[in-house]
Amino acid sequence: MFQVLAGVWALLLGVVLIMLGNGMHFTLIGLRGGIEGFSAAELAIVTSGYFVGFLSGARLSPALIRRVGHVRVFAALGSFMSAGLIAFTLLTEPWAWTLLRILVGFCMSGIYVTAESWLNNAATNETRGKVLSAYMIAQTLGIIGAQGLLTLGDAGTAALFIGASILVSISFAPILLTVARVPAVEVARPMSLRKLYSGSPLGTVGIFLLGAVYATQSGMGAVFGTQIGLSADRIALFVAMLFAGALVLQYPIGWLSDRMDRRTLIFGAAVMGAASCALGWMNIGGLWSMMAAAFLAGGVTTPLYALLLAYTNDFLSAEDMPAASGGLVFTFGLGAIAGPLLTGWAMQGLGPFAFWLVLGATFGVTALYALYRMTQRATPSVDETESYLGVLPTASPVAVEAAGVWAVEQAEAAREEAEEEASAEAEAEKSAAS
C-alpha cells in the first residue's frame, strides 16, 4: 500500500487541503447565513446553487481540459474558487451568495475531473482499487477535519472564509509542482435518462433520491443546527458526524454487498437511514441522540451511493458503463438540486425539525421502491455481480467510470480464479477415479 501511495501522495495531499477549504465553506454558509438572518428557504436556494454549478462543471470541464490542458484549467478554477470564497463576506445577500455558490460548485467539479484524471492515469490495473479508496478516504478526512477548523474562529467575521480560501490556494502547490504525466481526458457522453432507467430502474431512482439526501445533509445540516440554537462548535460536530459515519459503515456495507442480494441491502440501509432520521426528529435523548442520528443517517448515505452504482453496473455491459457513469452523476445532480429546495420549503413552513422529516421520507421512499423492485425483476446471482468499491457522492464521472472499470476487472479475475479451481478439482477427481 505504501508503494502505491508513494506515487500519488502529492495529489492526495492536495485533495485533503481542497476538501478542508470546501468543507469549511459548506458549514460556514449555514452559520453565517443564520447570523445574517437568512431564512431556511433562502439558504436552501443558496445550497442548491452549488449543485447547479457542480452539475454544469461535470458536463463542461472535460471540454475545457481538452481545449487548454489540465494545468491551465486546474490553476484557473482554483483561482476562481479561492476568490469566490473570500467574496462571500463582501456582499451578504442571498442572490449574491447563490451566484457565488454556482461559481464554487462549477470550480469544484472541474477540479475533481482534473484530479481524478491524474489519479486514474497514475494507477495501474493492479493498484486502481487502492488508489481510488485512498482518494475517497482523503476526501472524507478533509471534510471531517474542516469541521474542526471551524472552531478556531468566529463565523461572524471574514477570518474563516479567508482561511478556507488560503487552504484552497495552497492545495494546488503539491499537485502542480509534482512531475506527473498529463493524462488525456475522455469522458463518455452521458447515457439518456430513459435508457438508464430501462437498464436499472432502482439504480436510477435510487441515485436521484440519494442526491436529495446527500445535498440536504451537507448543505442544510448547518442551517438546521443554527435554527435550533446549537453553538458553532456543536454545529461543526453535527456536520462532522454526518461524514464520520461513512468512514465506519463503508467497509461492512461493502463487504455485505459482494455476498448478498444488493436490493435487500439497499432496502436495509435505507430503512436504517429512515429510522435514524426518526430518532433525530423525536430528539428524545437531546444532543447526543441527535449526534447518533447524524452518524447513522450520514453513515448509510455514502455506502448507499456506491451500492446503487454497483447494482446498476450489474445489469450493464462493460461497453455501456462509461456512458452510464455520466448519466448517473447527472441524475444524482438533479436530485441534489431538488433536495435542499424541498427541505428549505418544509423547514420554512413546519420548523427546523422538518429537516429530519424530509430526510426520513426520502430514505423511506428509497426503501419502498427497492422493496417493489424485488417483485419485478430477478437479481443476478452473487457470483455474477460486479465488485463493490466505495465511491463518494462528490465524485465526477471520471472516478465513477474508473470504479466501474475496476469492478469489472476484479469480477472477471474472481470468475477466472473460480473456474481454474473448479477445473483443478475436476482433474483431481478424474485422476483419483482412474
- In this structure, the number of other CB atoms found within 10 A of the CB of residue 423 comes to 10
Q: What pLDDT, in 10s, does the model give residues 334-347? A: 999 999 999 999 99
Least confident stretch, 38-52, 153-167, 243-257, 389-403: 389-403
Run of H or E residues at 402? helix 397-433
Q: How many residues does the chain have?
A: 434
Q: 70 pLDDT band (50/70/90 cuts)? A: confident
Which whole number is the average pLDDT over 65-73?
78
Long-range contacts: 244-247, Cβ < 8 Å, 24+? 244/144, 244/295, 244/298, 244/299, 245/294, 245/295, 245/296, 245/297, 245/298, 245/299, 245/300, 246/140, 246/298, 246/299, 246/301, 246/302, 246/303, 247/137, 247/140, 247/141, 247/144
Least confident stretch, 139-143, 386-390, 401-405: 386-390
Domains, the chain, in order of start with CATH, read 2-425 (1.20.1250.20)
pLDDT > 80? residue 303 = yes
Which whole number is the average pLDDT over 89-116?
89
Q: What pLDDT, in 10s, does the model give residues 135-150? A: 888 888 889 999 999 9
Q: 11 pLDDT band (50/70/90 cuts)? A: confident
Listing DSSP states for 175-215 in one string gives HHTS--PPPP---PPPPPHHHHHHH-HHHHHHHHHHHHHHH
Burial, 372: exposed, middle or buried (Cβ in 10 Å; 0-12, 13-18, 19+)? middle
Q: How far apart are CA 146 and CA 148, in angstroms?
A: 5
- On whether the CB atoms of residues 44 and 341 are closer than 8 A, the answer is yes
Q: How far apart are CA 409 and CA 407, in angstroms?
A: 5
Q: 213 pLDDT band (50/70/90 cuts)? A: very high
pLDDT > 80? residue 367 = yes
Q: 14 pLDDT band (50/70/90 cuts)? A: confident
- Per-residue cell: 225: 443546527
Give whole-number Cα distances, 111 to 27, 47, 60, 103, in Å. Answer: 20, 19, 12, 12
Q: What pLDDT, in 10s, does the model give residues 150-172? A: 988 888 888 999 999 999 988 88
pLDDT > 60? residue 180 = no
Over the chain, what is the mean pLDDT?
Answer: 83
Listing DSSP states for 376-393 in one string gives T-PPPPGGGSPPP----T
